[in-house]
Amino acid sequence: MIPLPEAQSFVLERCPARESVELPFEQAAGMVLATDVVATELVPPFDNTAVDGYAVIAADVANAAVEPVELQVVGEVAAGAATDRVLARGETIRIMTGAPIPEGADAVVMVEDSELIDENTVRLSASVQRGDAVRPAGDDVKPGEVVVAAGTLITPPVLGVLAMVNALTVSVYPRVRAAVLSTGDELVDDGRPLAPGEIRESNRRMLAVALRDAGCDVTDLGTVRDDEAELERVLRSAADQYDVVVSSGGVSMGDYDVVKAVLGRIADMQWMQVAIKPAKPFAFGLLDGTPVFGLPGNPVSSFVSFEMFARPALRQMMGFERLARPSVVGVADVALERRPDGKTHLMRVQSEFGDDGRCHVVPVRAQGSHQLAATSSASAIAVVPDGDGIPAGGEVAVLLLLS
């Protein structure tokens, strides 16, 4: 059997990051930056007020908290406007949040600390110092600064920063175009009643969602019947049109079905037995240079295999720096029992952070490779090394799925 890290390295070495592309920043959400974004402007571009209130000369209100001061109101500035009035001693200008600080002013008194006496006079009852409630030009960003580094995922706040610094076009790693298919005469996906020996198709639908969750653009190629010529046509067409191909089933050592027969003939495939449970059988290779992932047919194995092999490789192709799921050292609230068998067991668990700040886990009710209903309640995978398991209260490495 192949150790898990060795199998993962084999796949990652053959799934390099894709060539970057230039896109309008608004189309780049969810992608990873390929180059640094460097600011060319001050942000904010001018000194502005952080509050609604009155722009003042701080010295005029130095003792206003003890003895309120009356100042002459000589103007008003709203956000998006400006004034050429130069403030003099004894004067103030009404100002709204985000508006430019008038020349001569050096602080702002909040409107809550004011009382309008008449349209030209205001009484201020708060003392301020120079710079109070003033946001200086360049307080957030200065020209020449790297505001978003290469390797950063473009989240909504990051996209907002790109707009803020006028980065209208950015260099990003494009989404992987993934094709997913299932094979088998036994699979039913049209909702009709099952005939003897038939099962409902679930892997393809599950993997399509997993691919989208990983950031891919997904095309569902449907179910291909057990016909070698038809499967070869579909696989060759998919390898020509898409960046990766994902299928499930037909990868066990004892299997001889159309998937193994066709891929073994037309692609450079490696049929592996990985030292993990579930998901021991796994196939990976290149078809005309396109990565092909052959995942196990049992649904839980297919899911775990995707998490261990396909998802990290896809993220690498899309420029992500963190390939694996976030991991923590968890606490087993009950014993995670197993027997020595030379494999790492990837137990599906429910996880929750307790009042102690630690991640506590309990196994889902069933761990069989066919028991997808139980696995659907898992929020993490506990990595249990070969041996007798983890005792209650023991520590265990945990991969967080819902992150």
Mean pLDDT of 126-153: 97
194: Cβ contacts below 8 Å, ≥ 6 apart: 188, 200
pLDDT for residue 323 is more than 70: yes
288-307, pLDDT tens digit by residue? 999 999 999 999 999 999 99
What pLDDT score was predicted for residue 254? 64
Share of the chain above pLDDT 90, in %: 93
pLDDT for residue 403 is more than 70: no
What pLDDT score was predicted for residue 147? 98
Sign of CA dihedral 90, 93, 97, 98: negative
What are the distances in angstroms from CA 166 to CA 34, 152, 154?
17, 17, 15
Scan for tokens 């892997």, then name that residue. Answer: 203
User: Where in the chain are all domains bearing CATH 3.40.980.10?
Assistant: 4-17+175-317
39-65, pLDDT tens digit by residue? 999 999 999 999 999 999 999 999 999
- Identify the three-state secondary structure at position 264: helix
Which ranges constitute the DSSP H helices of 201-323?
203-213, 228-241, 258-266, 299-305, 311-317
pLDDT for residue 386 is more than 80: yes
Q: Which CATH superfamily is domain 21-40+141-173 in?
A: Molybdopterin biosynthesis moea protein, domain 2 (3.90.105.10)
226-279, pLDDT tens digit by residue? 899 999 999 999 999 999 999 998 787 666 678 889 999 999 999 999 999 999
Region of residue 90 (phi > 0: left; psi between -120 and 50: alpha; otherwise: beta): left
What pLDDT score was predicted for residue 286? 98
181-236, pLDDT tens digit by residue? 998 889 999 999 999 999 999 999 999 999 999 999 999 999 998 899 999 999 99
Cis-peptide into 136, omega within 30 deg: no
Other beta carbons within 10 angstroms of residue 339's beta carbon come to 9
pLDDT for residue 392 is more than 70: yes
pLDDT band at residue 360 using 50, 70 and 90 as cut-offs: very high
pLDDT for residue 369 is more than 80: yes
What pLDDT score was predicted for residue 184? 86
User: Where in the chain are all domains bearing CATH 2.40.340.10?
Assistant: 327-400
Scan for tokens 């998006």, then name that residue. Answer: 80
Nearest to 308 by CA among 333, 269, 343, 266: 343
Scan for tokens 């005939």, then name that residue. Answer: 195
CATH number of 4-17+175-317: 3.40.980.10
What pLDDT score was predicted for residue 252? 75
What pLDDT score was predicted for residue 45? 97
What pLDDT score was predicted for residue 255? 62
Distance CA 74, CA 88 (A): 10
Q: Which one of 1.10.510.10, 3.30.450.40, 2.60.40.10, 2.170.190.11 gives the CATH number of domain 48-135?
A: 2.170.190.11
Element (H, E) at 164: helix 156-164
Q: Which one of 3.20.20.140, 3.40.50.620, 2.60.40.10, 2.40.340.10 gives the CATH number of domain 327-400?
A: 2.40.340.10
Convert 42-58 to b/e letters by CB count within 10 Å (16 or more is b): bbbeebbbebbbbbbbb
Mean pLDDT of 326-346: 97
Mean per-residue pLDDT over the chain, rounded? 96
| pTM metric for this prediction | 0.89
User: Where in the chain are all domains bearing CATH 3.90.105.10?
Assistant: 21-40+141-173
Other beta carbons within 10 angstroms of residue 282's beta carbon come to 27
Phi, psi of 269 (to 5 degrees): -105, 150
